[in-house]
Amino acid sequence: MSRIGKKPVVVPKSVKVSIDGSNVTVEGPLGKLEQWFSPNVKVAFDSEAIRVEKANNSREAAAMHGLYRALFQNMVTGVTTGYEKKLEIFGTGYLFAVQGKVLQIRAGFAHEVQKPIPNGLTVACPDQTHVSIKGIDKQMVGQFAAEVRSIRKAEPYLGKGIKYDGEVIRRKESKAAAKK
């Protein structure tokens, strides 16, 4: 049985939750999020917490139990504090720039990569080597950050490329260094 699913999702006073059929809507100071849930789980809301229970003893219900509880927790956190991912780029001539609703990335290619910014996300570049992605939807923030990182992942020999802020790249020795 899911230990995560057993915990109730505590809802702050500034957040409104409504359950309509198989839809949960969470509205807070930063915005509004909706999530559909499976008929394998029952969702109940009292004035202070969202509770998720299994509808039956099937394997699918057990799998969905913790999943939906975590999704609802992410929704509540998103509309109250939001989510942020920071990326940094390293390399000669490599840089980030935001122009309107487009993130421009120079990452050592013959062309500049233009990445359109999805609605609901705020992208800022405090300097040319760092970018900050903010939003209320955890999945959307993480997906966009992963797509940007996948343009040029940091390579292990020189460390050139895009990496998450704080990510440690394991460095390798070159073949020339190994021959000495």
User: Is pLDDT above 60 for 117?
Assistant: yes
In angstroms, rounded to a whole number, what is the distance separating the alpha carbons of residues 110 and 170? 27
As a whole-number percent, the residues of the chain with pLDDT over 70 amount to 98
Q: What's the mean pLDDT in 108-119? A: 95
pLDDT of residue 43: 94
27-82 pLDDT per residue, tens: 999 999 999 999 999 999 998 999 999 999 999 998 899 999 999 999 999 999 99
Across all residues in the chain, what is the average pLDDT? 93
Query: Cα separation of 157 and 148, whole Å?
Result: 21
Euclidean distance between CA atoms 51 and 174, whole angstroms: 54
- CA–CA gap between residue 58 and residue 37 (Å, rounded): 16
Q: What is the pLDDT of residues 125-148, one digit of tens each?
A: 999 999 999 999 999 999 999 999
* AA letter at 46: D
> Predicted confidence band at 8 (pLDDT cuts at 50, 70, 90)?
very high
DSSP-derived secondary structure letter, 16:
E
pLDDT tens-digit map of 75-85? 999 999 999 99
Q: Give the CATH class of 83-164.
A: alpha beta
Look up the CATH superfamily of 3-80: Ribosomal protein L6 (3.90.930.12)
Indicate if the pLDDT at residue 1 is higher than 80: no
d(CA 22, CA 42): 9
What are the φ/ψ torsions at residue 138 (nearest 5 degrees)?
Answer: -60, -40
So where are the chain's domains?
3-80, 83-164
Is 83-164 the same fold as 3-80? yes
Cβ atoms of 124 and 170 within 8 Å: the answer is no
